[in-house]
Amino acid sequence: MVRIRKDFYWPTMKTTIKDYVAACSVCQRNKAVNLTPEGLLQPLQLPNQIWSDISMDFIDGLPKSGGKTMLFVVVDRFSKYAHFIPLAHPYNASSVARIFFENIVRLHGIPESIVSDRDAIFTSSFWKELFRLCGTKLHFSSAYHPQSDGQTEVVNRMIEMYFQCLDIRAKLQQAQHKMKIVYDKGHRDVEFSPGSYVWLWVHPYRQKAQASRVYHKLAPRYYGPFAVLRRIGSVAYQLGLPAGCKLHDVFHVSLLKSFKGEVPATPPSLPPVQEGHVVPTPCSVLRSRLNRAIIGKSRNKNRGLDLSIGPDFSVNRPATQSRTRDLNTLQKLILKSRKSRLMWIICQPEGTSLSLNC
């Protein structure tokens, strides 16, 4: 601003420069937001009686006991009573539904609504059609927002029953009101109109699929911009994601940031996603380094190499004992490059090719 004022001046100069800087695509993509989180708390509707509204989730990765390694958790949203049903792999929607009817419906009847995350079991066609015929409403959480089913997440940690007072509904309503006041003090209400464009924060939590990435902090913080198609509820929006994208297109407002500037002519793209997690991709292939090692170390350039590389980066079948030096050099280079996980193609002088899965 100071340098521009030395040589130039025009009306509303400060506003023009401020808007120009705010519309920088690189800054919007990578700068962190130093504001309170977006989205006010939207409490779920209070149930009227016990076991009329429930929530469910899975606890996986438990030590094996009697052949079971996971728990199917079903919580009554009114009394906070919970059932913990052991399960064993493999399981599918039909087997979970059978267990649900044997352990929950047999004791408490068919619920009016079920709150759950977007597990493959709960979003399957069989599960949806089954409870549609039973007259049960299914409420799913939006992508990357497990707080929508926060009650079950808390029960998963506590695994005990509480709220034993007589007037449970009044106490619940009072506690819910206090929670909303405290929560909203640290959050701000943000709205986006249909047709506007926003940036999308794809990975707010560090996933296991990204643990192998060496420089995960240098990845873009936001992707997009994407068009807002419609508003769902009070704090969720449906975005126009690219065709073939495997992400659910409804996101909580806390994952969105307003886009400023001109909308790009070409549609934006998302990084590769597998099972809802961002898959890191390499930036470039350093094939020349491996080629020099193979061709430069070979004394006889007219002969080729007949070998295969195993999954543990070891040479399985050397052609002859005289080629041990070349194979050892190749194995050292592969061990140095094992983090890149690339497909190397080495062209031989005789016109053949050698494929190495690194």
Same domain, 226 and 350: no
SS3 344: strand
The residue range of the domain holding 25 is 2-31+191-271
Number of structural domains the chain divides into: 3
Same domain, 106 and 136: yes
Rg of the chain taking only CA atoms, in angstroms = 28
Q: Please check whether residue 45 lies inside any domain of the structure.
A: no
Same domain, 58 and 89: yes
34-87 tens-digit pLDDT:
888 888 888 888 888 999 999 998 888 777 888 888 889 898 989 888 898 999
Same domain, 334 and 300: yes
The neighbour count for residue 218, using CB atoms within 10 Å, is: 8
Distance CA 96, CA 156 (A): 18
The predicted structure's pLDDT at residue 300? 46
Q: Please check whether residue 7 lies inside any domain of the structure.
A: yes
Cis amide leading into 225 (omega within 30): yes
Q: Which residue type occupies 37?
A: P
Same domain, 345 and 328: yes
Q: What is the CATH number of the domain that holds 91?
A: 3.30.420.10
155-204 tens-digit pLDDT:
666 654 443 455 777 778 888 899 999 998 999 988 999 989 999 887 65
Q: Please check whether residue 142 lies inside any domain of the structure.
A: yes
| Least reliable range by pLDDT among 286-295, 301-310, 318-327, 340-349 | 340-349
Distance CA 21, CA 46 (A): 46
Nearest 5 degrees, angle CA 317-CA 321-CA 324? Answer: 75
Beta strands in 213-326 (DSSP E): 223-232, 236-239, 250-252, 256-258, 273-274, 277-278
Q: Which residue type occupies 35?
A: L
78-122 tens-digit pLDDT:
988 889 899 998 889 999 999 999 999 999 999 999 988 888 888
Q: For a pLDDT cut of 90, what percent of the chain falls above it?
A: 19
Same domain, 180 and 94: yes
Q: State the alpha helices, DSSP H only, in 59-203.
A: 93-100, 106-108, 125-134, 150-158, 168-185
Same domain, 259 and 215: yes
C-alpha separations of 259 from 29, 223, 243 in Å? 10, 11, 21
For residues 269 and 242, is the Cβ–Cβ distance under 8 A? yes
Q: Please check whether residue 39 lies inside any domain of the structure.
A: no
